[in-house]
Amino acid sequence: MGIHQLNHAVLYVGELARSVGFYAEVLGFTVIAELPGAAFLRAADSTNDHDLGLFQARNPAATPVAGIGLYHLAWEVGTLGDLEQIRGRLSEAGALVGASDHGATKSLYGRDPDGLEFEIVWLVPRDLLTGDEQLGVAPLDLAAEITRYGRDTRGGIGISLPA
Protein backbone atom coordinates (compact mmCIF):
# COMPACT_ATOMS: atom_id res chain seq x y z
CA MET A 1 0.00 0.00 0.00
CA GLY A 2 2.96 2.38 0.10
CA ILE A 3 2.69 3.16 3.84
CA HIS A 4 6.07 4.24 5.13
CA GLN A 5 5.66 5.49 8.69
CA LEU A 6 3.37 6.38 11.55
CA ASN A 7 2.57 10.08 11.41
CA HIS A 8 0.66 10.82 14.62
CA ALA A 9 -1.41 9.31 17.41
CA VAL A 10 -4.78 10.49 18.68
CA LEU A 11 -6.01 9.63 22.18
CA TYR A 12 -9.25 9.98 24.09
CA VAL A 13 -8.33 11.34 27.54
CA GLY A 14 -10.19 11.71 30.82
CA GLU A 15 -9.34 15.37 31.42
CA LEU A 16 -8.13 17.31 28.39
CA ALA A 17 -6.39 20.15 30.26
CA ARG A 18 -4.57 17.72 32.56
CA SER A 19 -3.33 15.68 29.59
CA VAL A 20 -2.26 18.76 27.61
CA GLY A 21 -0.30 19.91 30.66
CA PHE A 22 1.37 16.53 31.05
CA TYR A 23 2.50 16.25 27.43
CA ALA A 24 3.66 19.87 27.40
CA GLU A 25 5.43 19.91 30.75
CA VAL A 26 6.79 16.39 30.89
CA LEU A 27 7.57 15.66 27.25
CA GLY A 28 8.02 19.14 25.82
CA PHE A 29 5.14 19.10 23.34
CA THR A 30 3.77 22.46 22.15
CA VAL A 31 0.06 23.10 21.63
CA ILE A 32 -0.39 24.15 18.01
CA ALA A 33 -4.19 24.23 17.82
CA GLU A 34 -7.18 23.85 20.09
CA LEU A 35 -10.77 23.09 19.16
CA PRO A 36 -13.69 22.55 21.52
CA GLY A 37 -12.86 19.30 23.31
CA ALA A 38 -9.57 18.74 21.47
CA ALA A 39 -5.95 19.84 21.37
CA PHE A 40 -3.24 19.17 18.80
CA LEU A 41 0.39 19.10 19.91
CA ARG A 42 3.78 18.95 18.20
CA ALA A 43 6.94 17.40 19.63
CA ALA A 44 9.89 19.77 20.14
CA ASP A 45 12.04 18.61 17.22
CA SER A 46 9.24 17.54 14.89
CA THR A 47 8.35 18.99 11.53
CA ASN A 48 4.95 17.23 11.52
CA ASP A 49 1.71 19.18 11.33
CA HIS A 50 1.00 17.55 14.70
CA ASP A 51 2.32 14.49 16.52
CA LEU A 52 -0.42 14.03 19.08
CA GLY A 53 -4.13 14.75 19.10
CA LEU A 54 -5.97 14.70 22.41
CA PHE A 55 -9.77 14.47 22.58
CA GLN A 56 -11.88 14.81 25.70
CA ALA A 57 -13.53 11.43 26.32
CA ARG A 58 -17.31 11.57 26.16
CA ASN A 59 -17.47 9.02 28.96
CA PRO A 60 -14.13 8.53 30.74
CA ALA A 61 -15.40 5.42 32.53
CA ALA A 62 -16.31 3.65 29.29
CA THR A 63 -14.03 1.63 27.08
CA PRO A 64 -12.87 3.10 23.76
CA VAL A 65 -14.21 4.60 21.48
CA ALA A 66 -16.23 6.77 23.85
CA GLY A 67 -13.90 6.23 26.81
CA ILE A 68 -10.24 6.82 27.54
CA GLY A 69 -7.79 5.20 25.14
CA LEU A 70 -6.46 5.17 21.64
CA TYR A 71 -8.70 6.84 19.08
CA HIS A 72 -6.68 6.17 15.93
CA LEU A 73 -3.26 5.89 14.35
CA ALA A 74 -2.34 7.63 11.11
CA TRP A 75 -0.20 5.99 8.45
CA GLU A 76 1.35 8.09 5.70
CA VAL A 77 1.29 7.26 2.02
CA GLY A 78 3.63 8.71 -0.56
CA THR A 79 1.19 10.07 -3.16
CA LEU A 80 -2.42 11.05 -3.71
CA GLY A 81 -2.53 8.18 -6.21
CA ASP A 82 -1.76 5.83 -3.31
CA LEU A 83 -4.53 7.46 -1.30
CA GLU A 84 -6.96 7.03 -4.19
CA GLN A 85 -6.06 3.34 -4.54
CA ILE A 86 -6.51 2.75 -0.82
CA ARG A 87 -9.86 4.53 -0.89
CA GLY A 88 -11.05 1.99 -3.43
CA ARG A 89 -9.78 -0.93 -1.39
CA LEU A 90 -11.36 0.36 1.81
CA SER A 91 -14.66 0.99 0.02
CA GLU A 92 -14.67 -2.51 -1.47
CA ALA A 93 -14.08 -3.97 1.99
CA GLY A 94 -16.86 -1.87 3.52
CA ALA A 95 -14.23 -0.34 5.81
CA LEU A 96 -14.16 3.31 4.65
CA VAL A 97 -15.76 5.48 7.34
CA GLY A 98 -14.64 8.98 6.38
CA ALA A 99 -12.54 11.28 4.20
CA SER A 100 -11.33 14.66 5.43
CA ASP A 101 -9.31 17.62 4.27
CA HIS A 102 -7.30 19.01 7.18
CA GLY A 103 -5.53 21.70 5.17
CA ALA A 104 -1.96 20.42 5.09
CA THR A 105 -3.12 16.79 5.17
CA LYS A 106 -5.60 14.77 3.12
CA SER A 107 -7.04 11.81 5.01
CA LEU A 108 -9.11 8.68 4.72
CA TYR A 109 -10.52 6.90 7.77
CA GLY A 110 -11.19 3.21 8.03
CA ARG A 111 -12.20 0.63 10.62
CA ASP A 112 -10.79 -2.84 10.97
CA PRO A 113 -13.01 -5.88 11.62
CA ASP A 114 -12.87 -5.22 15.37
CA GLY A 115 -14.02 -1.64 14.89
CA LEU A 116 -10.61 -0.04 15.54
CA GLU A 117 -10.26 3.17 13.56
CA PHE A 118 -7.20 4.18 11.55
CA GLU A 119 -6.26 7.03 9.24
CA ILE A 120 -4.37 6.92 5.95
CA VAL A 121 -2.88 10.34 5.26
CA TRP A 122 -1.05 12.23 2.51
CA LEU A 123 0.83 15.37 3.56
CA VAL A 124 1.06 18.40 1.28
CA PRO A 125 4.77 19.00 0.53
CA ARG A 126 6.20 22.04 2.29
CA ASP A 127 7.04 23.82 -0.98
CA LEU A 128 3.37 23.57 -2.04
CA LEU A 129 1.93 24.97 1.19
CA THR A 130 0.39 28.41 0.72
CA GLY A 131 0.09 29.41 4.36
CA ASP A 132 -3.69 29.44 4.08
CA GLU A 133 -4.05 25.86 5.30
CA GLN A 134 -6.11 25.73 8.47
CA LEU A 135 -6.10 22.83 10.90
CA GLY A 136 -9.69 21.69 10.91
CA VAL A 137 -12.02 19.29 9.19
CA ALA A 138 -13.60 19.75 5.76
CA PRO A 139 -14.88 17.16 3.29
CA LEU A 140 -12.11 15.69 1.12
CA ASP A 141 -12.54 16.12 -2.63
CA LEU A 142 -9.82 13.69 -3.66
CA ALA A 143 -10.29 14.30 -7.39
CA ALA A 144 -9.81 18.05 -6.87
CA GLU A 145 -6.71 17.47 -4.74
CA ILE A 146 -5.23 15.22 -7.45
CA THR A 147 -5.91 17.96 -10.01
CA ARG A 148 -4.30 20.54 -7.70
CA TYR A 149 -1.22 18.61 -6.55
CA GLY A 150 -0.85 15.76 -9.04
CA ARG A 151 -1.43 12.04 -8.65
CA ASP A 152 2.28 11.19 -8.28
CA THR A 153 3.59 14.14 -6.22
CA ARG A 154 5.53 12.82 -3.24
CA GLY A 155 3.98 14.07 -0.03
CA GLY A 156 5.49 15.03 3.27
CA ILE A 157 8.92 16.20 2.19
CA GLY A 158 9.89 18.92 4.62
CA ILE A 159 6.89 18.24 6.86
CA SER A 160 7.31 14.75 8.22
CA LEU A 161 10.48 13.79 6.38
CA PRO A 162 13.75 15.69 6.31
CA ALA A 163 14.10 17.83 3.18
DSSP code string of the chain: -----EEEEEEEES-HHHHHHHHHHHH--EEEEEETTEEEEE-TT--SS-SEEEEE-S-TTSPTTTSSEEEEEEEE-S-HHHHHHHHHHHHHTT-EEEEEE-SSEEEEEEE-TT--EEEEEEEPPGGG--S---SS-EE--HHHHHHHH-TTPPP-BTTTB--
Instruction: Tell me what pLDDT residue 144 has.
Output: 96
* Tens-digit pLDDT string for the chain (163 aa): 667 777 888 888 888 998 899 889 877 889 999 999 999 999 887 888 888 898 988 776 665 555 667 778 787 888 999 999 989 988 989 999 999 999 889 999 988 765 768 888 999 998 888 877 777 789 999 999 999 999 999 998 545 555 4
Instruction: Tell me what pLDDT residue 77 has.
Output: 84
Domains within the chain, CATH numbers bracketed: 6-149 (3.10.180.10)
Instruction: Tell me what pLDDT residue 1 has.
Output: 61
**Quick check: 133 and 103 in contact, CB under 8 A?**
yes
Instruction: Tell me what pLDDT residue 158 has.
Output: 47
Question: By C-alpha distance, which of 125, 160, 119 is closest to 145?
Answer: 125
Q: What residues form DSSP beta bridges with 100?
A: 107, 139
The reply to whether the predicted model has a pTM over 0.95 is no
